[in-house]
Structure 1
Amino acid sequence: MTLLGTFAMLGLGTLLLGELPRQRGREASLISAALILVGTVGGVLGLAFAVAASDVSAGFQPLGTSIGNSALFALGVSLTAIILVLDEALIGLFRGELQLWRNALFAVVKLAALLAASLWLSHVVGLTIYATWAIGNIFSLAALAGYAFVKKGRAGRNYFPQWGLLRKLGLSALKHHILNLTLQAPALILPVLVTVLLSATINAWFYVSWNLSSIANIFSVALTMTLYAA
């Protein structure tokens, strides 16, 4: 999910990070265009992977066993791409507190949904856990959208996507995308390789330790992104 979501970002996360301070008055329309684009690309990539997943590894076979499973996976990838770009856009707007509260709400809702699933469902599978991520993202995005609506009122036109402006930034976005994939893809592909070469069960253990070890990089990454936006 994270790997495909990163591919679907199309470089727009870091592009917005540096570009938004120079686009005064057009921030909302530029962000909305970027989110629609990456959400669509993420959904297509997720659906394509779900259909072909069984050919990649038996561990991914549940993704393609039904239309519902494939749609759920595609939705998760789409939401992941959206929140990855949105979080970087919020840093570009110097509204890091909104990013913090969105992620906090996401974590709380996700854990609450996971607890509810463990208590009320007789059979919990991997996609059930996956669904809690989607639920958390949907709630956090809805809360952020509600906050923006309350703060900005009904200034609807400010949120209309400006596709022309996004097209002008296409070459810059491509450069960002190539650099981002060069830096991030080798690490993000590791869980996929573990699943393919070993098993989904072993990958579950690996993914936990991998995430814990990545905590050491949080502060340096956050500082670097903030300095770039400034």
Structure 2
Amino acid sequence: MLSELLAPFIAPALLNILLVSLQQTLAMVSVAAVISALLGLPLGVLLVVTERGHILPHRLLHRSVGTVVNLIRSTPFIILMVSIIPLTRLLVGTTVGTTAAIVPLTIAITPLFARLVEAAVREVDRGLIDAALAMGGSPWQIIRKVLVPEALPGIVAGLTVTLVSLIGYSTMAGVVGGGGLGDLGIRFGYQRFMPEVMLMVIVVLVVMVQSVQFVGDRAARAVNHRLQRRRQQPV
């Protein structure tokens, strides 16, 4: 479908390269997003429940996790990607290409999602937590049945923001050999002075971001409506 739309505007050879670059970007974003979600969700919850006065207070753990998250978030992505080259080589056996780019993308985006999850979980009404404690709920039960379900609309919205940021990071990965649309824009649009290629890359990225934002907003509203209906059900 995409190839048919772009065929009148771009040469077939460049169109093939564009499609390959798009596939690389989608692969980087999807794999990094899944891993980041699996890691960032428990980290975000942990940042809340281990603070003083919550259900699992642990001062040392709370400060340690918060410090690591802040250190990674404060490091520019380009610098982070270069600085963890030995770790990338250790994990995937190479430092160039789409597979290698997934490692720094995941490390960079996980703390962002963790902080967004933390913000969403903090918004949960404290009265619900106290009621669950009064009924004898364990910390794990409160996390699974109260904190995460109640914070789910905010978590979905945070995941949308994370995906949009991840798309931007993936283009920067192309600057240092990560492949994808960023690499295409640099090699052809900038270095070979082909503005039409750069324009096509920008258009594709805009479409990706708008699509992610649209789907994410719809999903957050759907989850929020479902949560409201559950609250309105008689006990």
- Normalising to structure 1: TM-score of the pair? 0.32
Bigger relative contact order, structure 1 or 2, given CA contacts below 8 A and separation 6+? 1
- More helix, by proportion: 1
Indicate the structure (1 or 2) with the bigger Cα radius of gyration: 2
